[in-house]
A and B are shown apart, each in its own frame.
Chain A
Amino acid sequence: MTAVLDRPAPAPDTNTPRRAPLRIGPVLWALPPLIIVLVAAVYPLIRVCLESIKLRDGGLGLDTWTSVLGSQAFRSALWRTVAIAVTSTIGCLILGTFLAIVLAFVPFPGSTLVGRVIDTILSLPSFLITLAFTFLYGTAGAVNALISSITGAQTPLLNFLYTPAGVIAAEITFFTPFVIRPLLAAFSLLPRAQLDAAASLGASPLRILRSVIMPEAWPALMAGGSLVLLLTLNEFGIVLFTGAKGVMTLPVLIYTRGIVTFDLPGAAVIAAVQVVLSLALYITYRAIFARVTAGKTQEG
């Protein structure tokens, strides 16, 4: 009996995780933004998807999907959208990288002003660039007037503005700053000592750029490029202003079907495809980015 009385009471199991008390505060704080996202973003997307499967007789089905996806206009617009977006992105990457390198590593008078101008372009609406393009490169624009005054030609020699090339040129002009900004930020983080060390080891400026600078700026370049690809894929203003006559992209096709011909289910199908395209691109970008950064972390 004594033994039983003397037996120490069982110690509390310290290994059992204690359940954290439910706090209502954080939940209340999370509710408003959650509701806003649901109402402003998720609900419209669901409505678009529902609209795309709505039949003329009021029922639900995939007839609209079949007819839209099978149409030549859709396939042509899809191909053109992807082609313009990819070409513009490549152009932005090349031009943006070049300009960022010049701004960061080639000191020249007025470089700060150029930086400010780039920031200004970021704040402008895209169609404004296109409007400027019309005044510059349009058939009655300044460049054609100059060419005519020199060559005496009666018809405008420069006539690319309303072709895919015009759209690409405008998109490159407008979206290049989206590549420049993250690159400049990445370059500013690069220690000066690394460049000095590379130079002292006999590396030429080109080799320093290729072997030291760009590998460090790769995530920024990828982030800028992905952003531009997303934006160009969904670009509407530039295409409408320059290429609407001859260039039909998915956003313009959605506009035409939805607003001009009132084919809302058809427009909803294309919009759904557009959403899937954008999400797929975003997920791919996040996956690649996570892999790159995770790789760096693991290496560390």
Chain B
Amino acid sequence: MTDLKANTPATATLGASAQPTAGGTPAITFDNVGVAYGRGKKVTHALVDFSLQVAPGETVALLGPSGSGKSTALNALAGFVRPTSGTVLLAGRDVTDLPPAKRGIGVVLQSYALFPHMRVEENVAFGLKSHRVPRGEIGPRVTEALDMVGMSSFGKRLPRELSGGQQQRVAIARALAIRPGVLLLDEPLAALDAQLRQSMLAELQLLKEALPDTAMMYVTHDQAEALALADRIVVMNNARLMDVDTAENLWKRPPTSFTAAFLGGANLIPCTVSSVIGNSALVGLAGQNLSADAPQTAGVEWEAGSAALLCIRPHALQIGAVTESGAIPATVNASVWRGATTRVVLSVDGLPDRLIDVDTPGHTSLQVGSQVGLRFPEPAGVLVRIPQ
């Protein structure tokens, strides 16, 4: 796992284009890949100019809402759809026109896609037989793959005799049995209930550590899965790659308002930059001057007087008495208990027509319509460009 991270490229300053890997041939390369369906006026672009490189052993999560193109990118890599433009390379080999069977990629799908008439061990052996692995090797490799996912005692069962989580484990074992250099996981936990999803997520983390040389692409719309598993996250929207960076960078310094909102549901409050010193800035907000991070990334230069969005995570804000010094008066619009936290929606007096989400720990009872004081952290947040 340590080696894996050592191979992970430092991407803090990388833009949303092809990412170079730290030496060696990338395991996966998308070079301006486009996928379109239909012709003429009825053409639908499912993926536009998608460029990305994934290093051997690296795990990249494709994160985005439904229809953002993340599954299309994965399907183009697996060979399930043919790109209308661009090139797909696996370990430097152009596979754009190769059928899926010739690519040697392990694929785990949301619906498990186990063959219902085959027993678990037959499912896992399917790929090995297709690759004409010698008969004597198949048994041990099936056992090895099932051991890896803790399913070795279920070899004689049929898929319908297993729970959803067990079926997903078998699907993973089946994909791993052929020892692929690249493993694709298309929303593998989406069909599981919340509790099972958590345990499977932990198992996937262990699996990732057990496969330090396998590049993984993980498609999900769940940010928690992406944050937990990925070395880098690719945020997608409208068939395009929006941002790509490490999970920490995207979380702390989202380059775009879309990423800020999609990854963690940040508040994006319009503000004016008062002054900028290095990577910090003072912004005017609701009659107060607040400090904020002002990351100087490629193509972004903050200057005094420019309009920006102040990105603040809901959990970073605090609610107190309206009389507290430094607190901005606000009115409670809604308060929803979510178990571990309470989501409070506030309308801030200095920000007309602007609602701010605040997450407070535990169960906070606030009367709708009551006056509270909203306190910003220090620094208040991070500046994000206003989308054009």
Name A residues whose Cβ lies closer than 8 Å to a Cβ of B: 191, 193-194, 196-204, 207, 211-212, 215-216, 299-300
Contacts and interface: CB of A to CB of B under 8 A. Distances in A.
A299 B119 CA distance: 10
Interface stretch (B60-68, B124-132, B340-348): B124-132
Contacts of B130: 198, 201-204, 207
B78 interface: yes
9 contacts: A194-B113, A197-B109, A197-B174, A199-B79, A199-B80, A200-B107, A200-B175, A202-B127, A211-B115
A300 B163 CA distance: 11
Nearest to B116: A216
B130 to A, nearest CB: 4
Given A199-B79, A200-B101, A300 B126 contact: no
Q: Which 7 A-B residue pairings sit nearest by Cβ, starting from the closest?
A: A201-B127, A202-B130, A193-B113, A199-B100, A197-B113, A200-B107, A203-B130
B131 A202 contact: yes
A191 B109 CA distance: 12
Contacts of A201: 101, 126-127, 130-131, 174-175, 178
A215 B174 CA distance: 19
B160 interface: yes
A197 B177 CA distance: 13
Contacts of A299: 158, 160-161
Contacts of A191: 111, 113
A198 B115 contact: yes
Nearest to A297: B160
A254 B99 CA distance: 58
Contacts of A207: 130
Contacts of A204: 101, 130
A193 B161 contact: no
Contacts of B171: 197
Nearest to B108: A197
A196 B115 contact: no
B105 interface: yes
Count chain B CB atoms within 10 A of each CB in A200, A202, A204, A215 and give the residue with the most: A200
Contacts of B79: 199-200
Interface string B135-153: 0000000000000000000
A202 B78 contact: no
Contact of B115 (A199, A200, A202, A212): A212
Given A299-B158, A300-B161, A200 B78 contact: yes
Given A196-B80, A202-B130, A300 B107 contact: no
A194 B171 CA distance: 11
B103 interface: yes
A200 B126 contact: no
Given A299-B160, A299-B161, A199 B113 contact: no
A199 B111 CA distance: 16
Nearest to A300: B160
A199 B127 CA distance: 9
Contacts of A199: 79-80, 99-101
A201 B110 CA distance: 16
A203 B113 contact: no
B170 to A, nearest CB: 11
Given A197-B171, A203-B127, A216-B116, 8 more contacts: A193-B111, A194-B115, A196-B100, A197-B109, A199-B79, A201-B101, A201-B126, A215-B115
A257 to B, nearest CB: 48
Count chain B CB atoms within 10 A of each CB in A193, A198, A204, A216 and give the residue with the most: A193
B20 interface: no
Nearest to B131: A202
Interface string B91-115: 0000000011111111101110111
A88 to B, nearest CB: 29
B117 interface: yes
Nearest to A207: B130
A215 B126 CA distance: 14
A203 B106 contact: no
Contacts of B175: 200-201
Nearest to B102: A202
Contact of A203 (B107, B126, B161): B126
A300 B105 CA distance: 30
Contacts of B105: 200
Interface string B150-184: 00000000101100000000010011001000000
Contacts of B109: 193, 196-197
B158 A300 contact: yes
A123 B150 CA distance: 55
Nearest to A214: B117
A200 B80 CA distance: 9
A129 B113 CA distance: 42
A300 B131 CA distance: 30
Contacts of B99: 199
